[in-house]
Chain A
Amino acid sequence: MKEFFAMGGYAWYVWGSYGVTFLLLLAEILLLRKRTREAKA
């Protein structure tokens, strides 16, 4: 498990890529939900 998260010493690069991608997609989904709610109102 620890080895998996270490990514052979490339943890910052690999998880930095996946983490930011995930957060940005999540942010777009939340912004779309907010815009949908506001458009309905």
Chain B
Amino acid sequence: MTARSIHWFWYASPQTFFPLAGHIARVCWVLAALLAAAGLYIGFFVAPTDAQQGEAYRIIFIHVPAAWMSMFLYVVMAFWAALGLSFNTRLSSMMASALAPTGALFTFIALWTGSLWGRPTWGTYWVWDARLTSELILLFLYLGFMALQAAIDDPRRADRAGALLAIVGVVNVPIIYYSVQWWNTLHQGASVSLRSSPAMAATMLTGMLVMAFAFWAYSIAAVMVRVRCIIREREA
């Protein structure tokens, strides 16, 4: 066993992770504020007006990063939940519980901003298309996970029940991601992918990526603060 692996197990204990989570949160709050300021500046003052959508397209700088976070946070939540279920490690389950509210928040933001973007571009706030419906199901999965855990008094039992729901629900994430390819949807296809060059101006893409990093930093900070609360509440 190397020194590094011992280090990892060292932080698997809630008590030793607690101060580290505090440091991570402080750094990430600052990063989130700086990145958001830079991203908003690029989004509103550097990126040009869209030729087809006018200024309405500027919703992209929060809509796309929020939608990415909503899916990514769910996968991370299911990962920690599965780890907690299989190895019975307390901190893993606490991480899963700490991720859910922030994930739900970004899912709601993605739906809300999408709705306000849909009205001027598609002519409707809502349509039961595959992308929108599967994203709405993601919100219900987050809320279901939180409600299920809140309904069970014993935290260890709540962890296990929530973990099962989180793991089953992860099937929805690829459905959301590929929905625009699998079905005919009103929602457009991916604007950014690893296999092709982005279908937008460089400054637009930069603004979107900087905002995505801002949301990353925000999520890490919020989750670290929440996991510290959970550790205090459970281990006191």
Binding site for B on A (CB under 8 A): 4, 7-10, 12-14, 16-18, 20-21, 24-25, 28-29, 32, 35-36, 39-40
A24 to B102, CA, bound (A): 10
| Chain B residues with CB under 8 A of A14 | 55-56, 58-59, 116
B117 in the interface (beta carbon within 8 A): yes
Cβ of B225 and Cβ of A13 under 8 Å apart? Answer: no
Interface residues on B, range: 20 to 34
Looking at chain A's contact residues, the main secondary structure is: helix
Complexed CA–CA distance, A40 and B105 (Å): 25
Partner of A28 from the list B102, B117, B119 (CB cut-off 8 Å) is: B102
- Chain B binding surface, main DSSP class: helix
Q: Is the CB of B102 within 8 A of A10?
A: no
Residues of B within 8 A of A13 (CB): 56, 59, 116-117, 119-120
Residues of B within 8 A of A12 (CB): 116
- Tell which of A8, A20, A35, A39 touches B55, judged by Cβ atoms closer than 8 Å: A8
Closest to A31 in B: B101
Q: Tell me which of A17, A32, A36, A40 contacts B116 (CB under 8 A).
A: A17
B51: min CB distance to chain A, Å: 12
